[in-house]
Structure 1
Amino acid sequence: MEQIQELLAGLHPAEQALAATLFTWFVTALGAGLVFFFKGINQRVMDAMLGFAAGVMIAASFWSLLAPAIEMSEEVSSLPKWVPALVGFMGGGLFLAGIDKLLPHLHPNLPLTEAEGPSTSWRRSILLVLAITLHNIPEGLAVGVAFGAVAHDMSSATLGGAIALAIGIGLQNFPEGTAVAVPLRREGMTRRKAFWYGQLSGVVEPIFGVVGALMVISMQEVLPYALSFAAGAMIFVVVEELIPESQHSGNTDLATMATLLGFSVMMTLDVALG
């Protein structure tokens, strides 16, 4: 880990964010790569993976985003320190809710008739990719903002903490790639094409990672708002999609314990490295 920190320390924060989000995209591709070995994934395993991803995102939202945002508020704003966190958090949730209504998408394991957003004739594969892409917008933004915050040399923003967040996001990206690729393979799509669509869902993370880093580098006062915004958007994804999907097939206890495990792993990473 020290070697990784030394390697990243010599880069510009935007380059750090790019490197970190290329890693998270790579893990998405690894998850999609399961289609080269399996035509399907046991539903219990899939539910556990989705629960784990939910736990990671919940823990990251607080330990890596909200808590630092509250600490930073005292340094960059004259408002009560809870105000930027509240405004950013609710703003992130409302932003994802709006995108959810405007962008056609289909959650994994659901029939095409239950696609959300505006009515469209788009193929199932495109709608599945768009659903996971919605996850990855706040995730990429969160990583980018975390690395951008380090540039301001605040005690609440550390390079180790940003790396921990990137690792956590990478871990929960694995089941997201699988959740797109495996259903498409099961429906008869070729392995190569299913893999392509699965990894494609992660392409937005490097884009939003760099955007997030550049935004907070140039405007220090938006730091607590940006961190909280990413947290709110991630919690929206967890409650609206990941937890319901992990519980949908009846494996409630397994999915719940996996959520606790994911939370524990991300909390440990952040406390140990941050």
Structure 2
Amino acid sequence: MVEQLEAWAISLGPVRAAFFATVFTWLMTALGAALVFFFKTIRRSVFDTMLGFTGGVMIAASFWSLLTPALEMAEKIHPGYNWAPVAIGFLLGGFFIFLLDRLLPHLHINFNKSESEGITTNWHKSTLLVLAITLHNIPEGLAIGMLFGSAALDMDATTLTAAIALTIGIGIQNLPEGMAVSMPLRRQGLGRAKSFFYGQLSAMVEPIAGVIGALAVIYMNNILPYALAFSAGAMIYVVVEEVIPETQRDKYTDLAVLGFMLGFTIMMILDVAL
């Protein structure tokens, strides 16, 4: 199966492969959001477990799929100082999301509208929720695109298999993300169709970010270690600033931690075993 996916990705080329891979992750978000047609609500214990799972996948992907290959690539470019470009890229990625977080109006899941972040606005709560998950999805799309782009450059440390593993992992964790937007909106009184629309809308940014990521590393391959570390820093910032706090607002913190560990383990197995 993996060999067939690799052959298919090679036939497409890196940019189109990155596009179709991120369309897949977008569709997985839509699939999760579509559950709103069958359920109006979800138990908070299940919700927190799924959010924890999402954080575990993102942290594992940041290390196994992004930081480790970035260090190996940087060693070839800067022998003995491979930590420098990775550290710089990692911090820049976190700072990038920090700036977006300060500027873009958004509202984290299960927070009151009075707790919205970014520039003050009168936008509807549903819009703010979608923007929060959109922030979450930008680094995911970039990471997938950069891995497909770096695989096209025939870099030893990054292969199509790693890009495919990351795509599968992000796709799995996008399922609860879609639910995380559509279910709260349904509880607020929106119709099923509108709740679904907003739920899947948050992931539409992933194909755009995926194409940008692939093009960036292809045409600026000397910045690849910085770019991979940038994506990792952005993803970890999102997990620590957004995902983890949302799982700590109720009494199911232990389930959230178990979900986190399961997500981390599954992403690690995907990346290492494949």
Count of residues in Structure 1 that have an aligned counterpart in Structure 2: 273
What one-letter code is carried by the residue in structure 1 that aligns with 2:55?
A
- Residue 91 of structure 1 is matched in structure 2 by 92
Displacement of 1:181 in angstroms is 0.6
Query: What amino acid is aligned across from residue 191 of structure 1 in structure 2?
Result: R
2:29 & 2:80 partners in 1: Cα distance?
39
Residues 163-191 of structure 1: per-residue CA shift (max 9 Å, x gap): 00011111111111111111011111000
State the match for 2:48 in structure 1: 47
Distance 2:80 2:272 in 1: 27
Q: Give 1:129's aligned residue.
A: 130
The residue type paired with residue 177 of structure 1 is: G
1:119 is aligned to 2:103: no
| CA displacement 1:238-271 (0-9 Å, x = unmatched) | 0011111122112111110110110000000000
Distance 2:143 2:265 in 1: 19
Query: What are the superposed Cα offsets for residues 172-226 of structure 1, whole Å, 9 maximum, x if unpaired?
Result: 1111111111101111100000000000000000001000001100111110000
On the 8 A contact 1:92/1:230 being kept in 2, the answer is yes
**How many angstroms apart in 2 are the aligned matches of 1:26 and 1:68?**
28
Aligned amino acid, residue 227 of structure 1? L
| Structure 2 equivalent of residue 169 of structure 1 | 170
Superposition deviation, residue 161 in structure 1: 0.4
For residue 81 of structure 1, what is the aligned residue in structure 2? Answer: 82
Which residue of the partner structure matches residue 24 of structure 2? 23
2-structure distance, mates of 1:248, 1:8:
42
User: What SS is found at the alignment partner of 1:10?
Assistant: helix
How far residue 11 of structure 1 moved from its aligned partner, in angstroms, is: 1.3
Letter in 2 for 1:23: F
Q: Structure 2: where are the runs of 5+ without partners?
A: none
The equivalent residue for 1:184 is 185
Cα pair 1:70 1:224 within 8 Å, conserved: yes
C-alpha distance after superposition, 1:133-173 (max 9, x if no partner): 00000000000001000011111010000000011111111
Partner of 1:102: 103
Q: What CA distance in whole angstroms lies between the structure 1 residues aligned with 2:40 and 2:213?
A: 37
Q: Which residue of 1 aligns with 2:65?
A: 64
1:129/1:200 contact within 8 Å kept:
yes
- Secondary structure at the counterpart of residue 118 of structure 1: coil
For the 8 Å contact 1:77–1:221, the answer to whether it is kept is no
Q: Which amino acid aligns with 2:156?
A: S
Whole-angstrom distance in 1 between the partners of 2:92 and 2:153: 23
Distance in 2 of aligned mates of 1:159 and 1:14: 13
Unpaired segments ≥5 residues, structure 1: none
Alignment partners' CA distance in 1, 2:87 and 2:198? 36
Identify the range of structure 1 (76-85 vs 197-206) with the bigger mean alpha-carbon deviation.
Answer: 76-85
What CA distance in whole angstroms lies between the structure 1 residues aligned with 2:74 and 2:101?
A: 29
In the alignment, the residues of structure 1 paired with residue 76 and residue 155 of structure 2 have an alpha-carbon distance, to the nearest angstrom, of 9
8 Å contact from structure 1 (residues 39, 185) kept in 2: yes
CA distance in 2, matches of 1:172, 1:76: 34
Query: Distance between the aligned counterparts of 1:78 and 1:95, measured in 2?
Result: 27
Question: C-alpha distance in 2, partners of 1:257/1:183?
Answer: 23
Q: Percent identity?
A: 60
Contact 1:76–1:220, Cα closer than 8 Å, also in 2: no
* Structure 1 partner of 2:261: 260
Q: Distance in 1 between matches of 2:79 and 2:226?
A: 14
Amino acid of the structure 2 residue aligned with 1:254: L
TM-score (norm 1): 0.98
- d(CA) in 2 for partners of 1:28, 1:77: 39
CA distance in 2, matches of 1:79, 1:132: 38
Distance 2:35 2:232 in 1: 29
Residue 75 of structure 1 and its aligned partner are, at CA, apart by 2.4
